[in-house]
Structure formats: structure tokens, C-alpha cells
Amino acid sequence: MQVETFSTLQEASGAVHDRAQFLAGGTILMRAVTYGDQSFDTIVRAQQVDRSIGSDAGGLRIGAGATMADVLASRDVDFLHPVARAIGGPQVRNMGTVGGNIFARNPYGDFAVALLALDAQAVMADGRTMPLGDLLATRERPGGLVQAVTIARPESGTFRFRKVSRVKPKGVSVMSIAAHLKRGDPRVVFGNMAPTPTRSVGAERALANGTDAGAIAAACSACLEGLAPADDPLATEWYRREVAPVHLKRLLEEGARY
């Protein structure tokens, strides 16, 4: 094992390769180091990390190095507080970052679920931007590090998040669901219901024109379309299929409708 430390994310980005992993909060990576993961032998660090959270012309921008605690401390992203609060215990939230969450494999990645529902754009270290969905699809072979994510602020009451876990208050999720309910272009994303956070094509179609009882019923019955849940120690595929509509219904029935 060796550690390579760079001053900027850009430099670090160039040093990441097949057997070199970037270290952010370390809540996932350090376990792999300690437990002897043989798939990499180099840790890449950057001394300057972008932890800033703020709004600019394009909307809201969250540095990839922002921790869950940073998110909770920022009023700009108050709608994301329920998401950040649902991740781990206080120590994990003090350490785990937004950037790391995008690359967190199941059963983790709750924040990425929310970001995908908000149609986030990833700003890469080399300045490129790409839709978060594209990045998630290729995250096992990422082309460089993530500098920040940008999102448009959702209209009040249109963003919902729900984490389903067996152990309260900090169990990892059996599934998580985030929805951005915008007439014409609703986004409904499930976590832990496919290898990466994934949009429910069926639910989105059913909710395109309204969220009345009929639309909600249609969304629930079609919600597994586009998803591919699997067995893991937390729940079986069967269980996930059975309860996904139930939890989606609860999520859709709370708060404002259109």
C-alpha cells in the first residue's frame, strides 16, 4: 500500500488509475484498506478539497468534498437535510462526503439517489460537466474525479425523500426513494433497487400529468419498471418488489400534490 498526496483535486485526478483509489472521507475506502482489499494498492489524496456549498447563477453548487455534516449546516440546501440526516450516525456524517456517496455501492448511496432525482450535473475536476445519471452508469470506470455537483433549487414541497431501513435510527437502507414532483417532468429514483440509483420509468410516466389518487395508484403499480432489485443480507429481491409500491405510495401521499 502506498499513499500519494497532491495539493489539488486536479492533480489527484490525473493520478487515479485502475489500482489507485481516491480517498475522500474514507468511510468506505478505509475499510477496504484495513480489510486487505487486493483490487488496489495506492491511495490518492488531495490536500485542498472543495467543501463549499452555495448558490450561483446556474443554481446550487455542492462541493464534492462537502460532508453530510456540511450539508446539514447549510441553509441553502435545507431540502436535502432529511437526506443527509438519514445517512449513518454522527461520526459517519462528519466524515462521509457527497462525492464519495456518488461512488458508494449498494446498500449505500442515499444522497446520490436524491441528487439523481434533482437531475444533478456533475462537474468534473477537468471542468467537464455531465448529467449525474451518465456518471452513475459509468462509475466503475470514472473518467477523473468529481469536483462538485450542481442542481436547480426545487420548488418548495416538490422534493420528497424516504429511506427504508430495518434498524432505527441509523440502519442502512433496504431501499431509498427520492421524488421531484414536477408536472410534465417528474423524477422518481430508487436506491438499492438496481446496481446504481435508478429512475423508475413506470412511476415517472404515471405521474407526468398529476398526482391524484389515480395517478398515485398507477405509479405504484408500475414503479418496478426500469428497476432490477436483488437479494442481499438486508432483504430479498421478492421482499423489495413487494414493499416498493407501499413505500412509494406513502412518499407520494405526503405533502403537496399537483
Question: Is 25 a residue that touches ligand FAD (CB under 6 A)?
Answer: yes
Strand ranges of the sheet holding 121-124, from the earlier edge strand across to the other edge: 53-56, 59-63, 146-151, 121-124, 129-131
Selection from 173, 242, 163, 179 nearest residue 216 by Cα: 179
- Does 1 contact another protein by CB under 8 A? yes
Among 3, 73, 152, 208, binds another protein (CB under 8 A): 3
Closest by CA position to 229, among listed 213, 219, 240: 240
Q: Of ligand FAD, another protein, none, which one does residue 226 interact with (CB within 5 to 8 Å by kind)?
A: none
Nearer to another protein, 18 or 56 (CB): 18
Select the span of 94-102, 177-185, 200-208, 218-226 touching ligand FAD (CB under 6 A). Answer: 94-102
Binding partner of 35, given ligand FAD, another protein, none, CB within 5-8 angstroms per partner class = another protein
The site partner of 169 among ligand FAD, another protein, none (C-beta below 5 to 8 Å per kind) is another protein
Q: What is the DSSP string of 82-122?
A: HHHHTSS-HHHHHH-BHHHHHTPPTT--HHHHHHHHTT-EE
Site string for ligand FAD, 132-151 (x = CB under 6 A): ----------x--xx-----
218 binds, among ligand FAD, another protein, none (CB under 5 to 8 A by kind): none
**Residue 29 binds ligand FAD (CB under 6 A):** yes
Nearest residue (CB) to another protein, 39 versus 156: 39
Give me the count of residues in the chain.
Answer: 258
Output 160 or 163, the one with its CB closest to ligand FAD.
Answer: 163
| Cβ-based neighbours of 245, under 8 Å, separated by 6 or more | 220, 221, 223, 224
Encode 96-131: b = buried (16+ Cβ within 10 Å), e = exposed.
bbbbbbbbbebbbbbbbbbbbbbbbbbbbbeeeeee
Cα 188–Cα 204–Cα 230 angle in degrees, nearest 5? 55
Strands 2-6 and 20-22 come out as unpaired
Footprint of another protein (CB under 8 A):
1-3, 5, 23, 25-27, 30-31, 33-36, 38, 43, 45, 69, 88-92, 94-95, 169-170
Which chain residues interact with ligand FAD by CB under 6 A?
21-29, 64, 87-88, 92, 95-97, 99-101, 103-104, 108-111, 142, 145-146, 172
